[in-house]
């Protein structure tokens, strides 16, 4: 079936509305076990809640990035690649939302801003060509993987549920980077990588609090 520009536009709008205003539903089971439930102190809940809010924002941004890149490309196979990765990120979005609820924490109030900013970056990357767009995915996922690794050292040791979610997300992000590399990604220039790191640092710092 032909995927017209109009079809892609409405699909893109639908994805944005679902990400920002609809409770996400995971296709994969949340990687927590019954025995993962442990009592946390108020301080531990606050720490985990702030970290999982940051991770939730990351998944909001991931939805925006992949949606924008799928919209920008004219390559049907690559569009399917982005859609598959986006489905993984939808699972992550649902898992982090569920964990926020369990911790009594709320998502970032700035999620519409984060989504819009990430969508703009994804659209720009897509307009620069498929190889660069895939390179953007590789660098983004590598930075996210490192960020999640740092969270494993910051989460309370007895918050097994949050740690299980973060560990699975980390594995998935690594796979996304490898898949994008195999699909034809080209390395991004060091200055671009540095700008991406700075932007991610700003987002995580603000989302930790708001």
pTM attached to this predicted model = 0.89
Please indicate, yes or no, if residue 86 is contained in any of the structural domains. yes
pLDDT attached to residue 104: 94
- Whether residue 33 lies inside any domain: the answer is no
CATH number of the CATH domain containing 138: 1.20.1260.10
The per-residue pLDDT of the chain, averaged, comes to 89
Question: What domain range includes position 134?
Answer: 5-19+40-207
Q: Which of 130-134, 165-169, 200-204 has the lowest mean pLDDT?
A: 200-204
Q: Is residue 159 in a domain? A: yes
Question: Tens of pLDDT along 116-144?
Answer: 999 999 999 999 999 999 999 999 999 99
**Predicted pLDDT at 1:** 45
Would 30 be classed as within a structural domain?
no
57 is a domain residue: yes
Question: For the chain, what is the domain count?
Answer: 1
* Assigned domain for 28 exists: no
Closest listed residue to residue 137, CA positions, set 76, 84, 205: 84
Q: pLDDT, tens digit, for every residue of 16-67? A: 878 887 788 888 888 876 556 678 999 999 999 999 999 999 999 999 999 9
Structural domain includes residue 25: no
Mean pLDDT of 175-200: 90
Mean pLDDT along residues 7-23 = 80
């Amino acid at each position: 079936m032909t995927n017209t520009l109009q079809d892609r536009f409405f699909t893109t709008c639908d994805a944005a509305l679902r990400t920002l205003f609809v409770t996400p539903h995971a296709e994969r089971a949340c990687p927590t076990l019954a025995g993962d439930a442990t009592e946390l102190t108020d301080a531990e809940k606050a720490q985990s809640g702030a970290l999982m809010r940051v991770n939730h924002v990351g998944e909001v941004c991931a939805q925006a990035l992949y949606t924008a890149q799928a919209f920008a490309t004219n390559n049907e196979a690559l569009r399917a690649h982005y859609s598959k990765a986006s489905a993984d990120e939808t699972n992550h979005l649902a898992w982090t939302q569920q964990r926020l609820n369990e911790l009594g924490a709320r998502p970032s109030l700035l999620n519409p801003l984060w989504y819009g900013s990430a969508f703009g970056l994804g659209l720009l990357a897509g307009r620069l060509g498929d190889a660069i767009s895939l390179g953007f995915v590789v660098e983004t996922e590598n930075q996210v993987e490192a960020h999640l690794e740092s969270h494993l050292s910051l989460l309370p040791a007895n918050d097994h549920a949050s740690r299980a979610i973060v560990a699975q997300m980390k594995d998935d992000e690594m796979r996304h980077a490898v898949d994008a590399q195999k699909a034809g990604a080209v390395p991004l220039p060091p200055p671009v990588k540095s700008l991406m790191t700075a932007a991610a640092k700003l987002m995580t710092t603000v989302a930790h609090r708001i």
